[in-house]
């Protein structure tokens, strides 16, 4: 009998196929006495090394498949494994209570998770799940068990209570028709993965996983926000018809390849793609983006033991510029900090890292790191159409300091006789402070790129990673639209162009609004380029000069 469940779509689409139910296996560990505590501690040390290797592999896989933002969580897990307090607690329990390594790890994981969960700070509460995840991994490795969940041999709709980063990354993307989870947030790893893969996904779907069976047929309609198990013949036929319509729409989009992104009233709009590493370039070209509007340079700093050298950075930047063959590439200087922690930076712990020591603040406080990146960027500029933008700006003073450091690098390269070019330079507008002084900032830079993700959460005082606040988070809030309008007007007043590189840039419900405001450039996930081009080309309303 058909059963229909309602959920919250995080990527619209439709899928028809078998279900694979992924149920978490609770790690049950009995209290066992250990004869030799030091031998048990040795087992823990070996399991830690094995776990770190697994996490490094997951990091590299995630980096190549879903970009650095999603991969960074595995960096966090590796650091937590190495935490001295965590390891000391395990060793102490083994020695004083003479228990097995598995039991000590499981109890310590529970204790630390409860401690984090009891904290007032949302960011620290979220670490509870991370501690449980790494403790379960350690226990499984101690017991010699395989880790991870397999999706089966045939392509299917993945159904789960929720999915951790390690679980989603381990799944074979070719075998996933869609995602349906009981829990999760719009900004969860599952949601991000679905958007990157261009497959339908729903969260917050109230269902009893015990009543679902692997292999049963289901329809996932992320347009209507429904998940139907054991659908009727009529429901299957309707789903197939919808899928056919979507395929036809996708085929129609192909005619926009090679076409100029221009409104019906003649306004040219630049349509670029956001990428996380060099490996994303083929997707940019395949989807016919005009260039790269956001190249996150952090991938060069993550997943390693020390800072990347100037030569390493230079070769990476040159490679992307040469591959893009004269198309614009906008590289954002490093945005380390907040949820992207890197051990060797020595940033330390912060109560509120999203508003802490991050991005351009690190660059200005540790100019030797900044100069190395700037030298690589200026040298690479010789090989293509490079623009550089600086994140998390809040004042004219910061821009002046950046310009001073750039001049110092220019003088150094000139003195050394090293070929270089000064690229176009802009800033990201992602703080309310930058919005309010955008008139003054526009006179100091070549362009603005609005980072709507951070701008929205800072303006609304809402952590977008906090699922409890999903009902309050409104990316379409009139305050955000007014800010975008203000920034655009101030940029144009001084003859500068303005783009949007945050999630809102791909929001088709706002495309016409952005055209009316007069936004000059949109940078989106490669999979959204042709959909956005179609809508822009069909726009015929009023547009500012």
- Report, as residue numbers or ranges, the catalytic residues: 189, 501
Query: Given its phi and psi angles, is residue 209 left (phi above 0), alpha (psi -120 to 50 degrees) or beta?
Result: alpha
Cα–Cα dist 29/224, whole Å: 43
Contacts with 55 (C-beta within 8 Å, 6 or more apart), sequence order: 74, 77, 78, 81, 137, 166
Tokens of 134: 């790494």
Q: Are strands 447-450 and 217-221 parallel, antiparallel or unpaired?
A: unpaired
Please name the residue that has the structure tokens 């056919």: 244
Cα–Cα dist 179/274, whole Å: 23
CB 330 within 8 A of CB 520: no
Contacts with 456 (C-beta within 8 Å, 6 or more apart), sequence order: 462, 464, 473, 475, 477, 480, 502, 504
Distances (CA, A) of 513 to 481, 536, 545: 9, 11, 15
Contacts with 162 (C-beta within 8 Å, 6 or more apart), sequence order: 181, 182, 183, 184, 188, 190
DSSP for 61-96, written as a single string: HHHHHH-HHHHHHHHHHHHHHT-HHHHHHHHHHHHH
Q: What is the rounded (10 degree) CA torsion for 396, 397, 401, 402?
A: -30
* Residues in a beta bridge with 498: 448
In the sheet that holds 176-181, the strands lie side by side as 3-6, 226-229, 217-221, 14-22, 156-160, 176-181, 201-203, 8-11
Distances (CA, A) of 534 to 14, 93, 263, 291, 530: 21, 62, 9, 17, 6
Please name the residue that has the structure tokens 């010789």: 382
Question: Mapped to the 3 state alphabet, what secondary structure does 435-472 carry?
Answer: HHCHHHHCCCCCEEEECHHHHHHHHHCCCCCCHHHCCC
What is the helix (H) or strand (E) element at residue 226, kind and residue range? Answer: strand 226-229
DSSP for 509-521, written as a single string: TTHHHHHHHT--E
Query: Is residue 325 packed enough to be buried (19+ CB in 10 Å), middle (13-18) or exposed (0-12)?
Result: exposed
Contacts with 251 (C-beta within 8 Å, 6 or more apart), sequence order: none
What is the helix (H) or strand (E) element at residue 112, kind and residue range? Answer: helix 101-117
Q: Are strands 217-221 and 201-203 parallel, antiparallel or unpaired?
A: unpaired
CB 236 within 8 A of CB 44: no
Both ends of the chain: CA-CA distance in Å?
58
């Amino acid at each position: 009998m058909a059963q229909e469940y309602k959920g919250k779509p995080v990527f619209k689409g439709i899928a028809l196929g078998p279900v694979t139910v992924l149920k978490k296996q609770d790690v049950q560990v009995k209290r066992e006495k250990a004869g030799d505590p030091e031998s048990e501690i040795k087992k823990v040390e070996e399991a830690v090394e094995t776990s770190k290797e697994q996490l490094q592999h997951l990091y590299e896989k995630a980096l190549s498949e879903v970009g650095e933002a999603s991969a960074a969580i595995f960096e966090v897990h590796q650091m937590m494994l190495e935490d001295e307090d965590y390891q000391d607690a395990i060793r102490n329990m083994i020695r004083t209570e003479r228990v097995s390594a598995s039991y000590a790890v499981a109890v310590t994981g529970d204790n630390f998770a409860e401690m984090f969960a009891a904290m007032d700070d949302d960011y620290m509460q979220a670490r509870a799940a991370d501690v449980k995840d790494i403790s379960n991994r350690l226990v499984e490795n101690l017991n010699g068990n395989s880790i991870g969940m397999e999706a089966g041999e045939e392509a299917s709709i993945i159904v789960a209570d929720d999915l951790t980063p390690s679980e989603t990354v381990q799944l074979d993307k070719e075998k996933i028709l869609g995602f349906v989870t009981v829990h999760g947030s719009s900004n969860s790893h599952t949601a991000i993965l679905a958007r990157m893969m261009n497959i339908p996904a729903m969260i917050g779907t109230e269902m009893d996983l015990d009543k679902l069976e692997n292999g049963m047929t289901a329809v996932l309609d992320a347009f209507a926000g429904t998940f139907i198990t054991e659908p009727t013949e009529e429901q299957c036929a309707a789903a197939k018809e919808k899928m056919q319509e979507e395929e036809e729409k996708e085929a129609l989009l192909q005619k926009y390849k090679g076409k100029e992104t221009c409104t019906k009233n003649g306004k040219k709009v630049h349509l670029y793609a956001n990428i996380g590493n060099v490996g994303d370039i083929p997707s940019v070209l395949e989807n016919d983006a005009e260039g790269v509007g956001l190249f996150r340079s952090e991938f060069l700093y993550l997943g390693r033991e020390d800072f990347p050298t100037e030569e390493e950075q230079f070769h990476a930047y040159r490679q992307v510029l040469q591959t893009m063959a004269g198309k614009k590439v906008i590289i954002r200087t490093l945005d380390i900090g907040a949820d992207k922690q890197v051990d060797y930076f020595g940033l330390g712990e912060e109560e509120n890292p999203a508003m802490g020591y991050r991005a351009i603040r690190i660059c200005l406080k540790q100019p030797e790191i900044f100069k190395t990146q700037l030298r690589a960027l200026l040298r690479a500029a010789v090989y293509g159409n490079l623009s550089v933008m600086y994140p998390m700006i809040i004042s004219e003073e910061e821009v002046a300091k950046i310009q001073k450091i750039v001049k110092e690098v220019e003088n150094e390269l000139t003195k050394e006789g090293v070929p270089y070019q000064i690229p176009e330079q802009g800033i990201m507008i992602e703080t309310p402070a930058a919005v309010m002084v955008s008139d003054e900032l526009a006179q100091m830079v070549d362009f603005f790129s609005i980072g709507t993700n951070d701008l929205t959460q800072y303006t609304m005082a809402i952590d977008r990673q906090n699922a409890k606040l999903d009902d309050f988070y409104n990316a379409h809030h009139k305050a955000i639209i007014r800010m975008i309008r203000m920034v655009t007007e101030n940029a144009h007043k001084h003859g500068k162009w303005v783009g949007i590189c945050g999630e809102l840039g791909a929001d088709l419900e706002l495309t016409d609004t952005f055209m009316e405001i007069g936004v000059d450039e949109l940078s989106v996930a490669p999979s959204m380029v042709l959909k956005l081009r179609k809508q822009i080309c069909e726009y015929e309303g009023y547009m500012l000069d």
